[in-house]
Structure 1
Amino acid sequence: MDSRTFRNAMGTFATGITVITTEINGDVSGMTANAFMSVSLEPKLIVVSIDKKSRLLEKIHKSKKYGISILSEAQQEYSMIFAGQIKEKREVEFDRIGGIPVLKEALLTLSCNVVAEHEAGDHILFIGEVTDLNINKGEPLVFYNGKYRNLKVLEELAL
């Protein structure tokens, strides 16, 4: 199978949208990703998958820290900004958690210290120990079959 077929097949798995952030010398960098999962409760570990061609890769290697912002349905523009889909400069509001920049008003924000990394094909998996978190109310932004969705629309489609 070719890469496009595989990518389309993986798109049938509905996911939330995260923005992964880190900071080097006051310069905040981030990227949109749906390759995120919880790994362990004790210790509290999560993993993110970063393409080897990503500009964020070397920054996480250097900082050894990253933040995760799980986006709400009202934050599609942030997803598009950090995915490079919106090219013009837009204002992005950050909070800090555990000293790491995260997106304001995200459903969940986490700060993590990198405890391990593993090469996996054309990606690097960063396992992070969660040092702090903040939970907000709201509905998640969902990505399914190559399109942004929200739960209300998905619920209506099921009826």
Structure 2
Amino acid sequence: MDGREFRNAMGRFATGVTIITAPEQEGGVHGMTANAFVSISLDPKLVMISIDNRANMLETIRKADKFGVSFLREEQQPISMHFANQKPMEEEIEFAYMDNIPYIPNSLASVVCDVHEMIVAGDHTLFIGKVLDTKVEDGDPLLFYQGQYRAIEEQQ
């Protein structure tokens, strides 16, 4: 199987859309769009993100030893597109903070973490984060399926 076939198969798994953030370093807050997020454990509270080994965010998280994850609501698609380098936003993005770690305000949920463990796995690095704090709000999720943004449609 070639890489495109594998990518197409993985695109059949519907995911939420997240923004990964890291505390301010040179140049301010860093963020990236990602859908590779997993809740791992309730005790201790652990989550995992997967970062491409070529991404600038990899070294940023390594240096900070902390990261945030914000689960986007459907109206936040422009924020996802901005951090995916698809379409820059005209207005500056505001961040909120928990434990001095930035997150996207008004997202469905946000978690902030200390890096608990890093595992190099192929062309990505997995960061397992120990959750320090969370924030939860109401709304409908922004979804990603077959390379496109989607929204939940109400069944009638």
Do both share a fold (TM > 0.5)? yes
Q: Which letter maps to 1:82? A: F
What is the TM-score when the length of structure 1 is the normalising length? 0.93
Shift of 1:87: 4.0
2-structure distance, mates of 1:98, 1:35: 23
The equivalent of 2:69 in structure 1 is 68
What is the TM-score when the length of structure 2 is the normalising length? 0.95
Structure showing the higher helix proportion among its residues: 1
1-structure distance, mates of 2:94, 2:16: 20
2-structure distance, mates of 1:88, 1:142: 20
Q: Does structure 1 residue 146 correspond to structure 2 residue 138?
A: no
Does the CA contact (< 8 Å) of 2:79 and 2:89 recur in 1?
A: no
Does the CA contact (< 8 Å) of 1:113 and 1:130 recur in 2?
A: yes
Gaps of 5+ in 1: none
| Over 6 Å off, 4+ runs | none
2-structure distance, mates of 1:87, 1:19: 15
RMSD, matched Cα:
1.4
Q: Does structure 1 residue 18 correspond to structure 2 residue 21?
A: no
Does the CA contact (< 8 Å) of 1:24 and 1:59 recur in 2?
A: no
The equivalent of 2:135 in structure 1 is 134
The alignment of Structure 1 onto Structure 2 pairs a total of residues equal to 155
Shift of 1:25: 3.2
Q: Which letter maps to 1:117? A: M
Single out whichever of 3-12 and 82-91 deviates more from structure 2.
Answer: 82-91
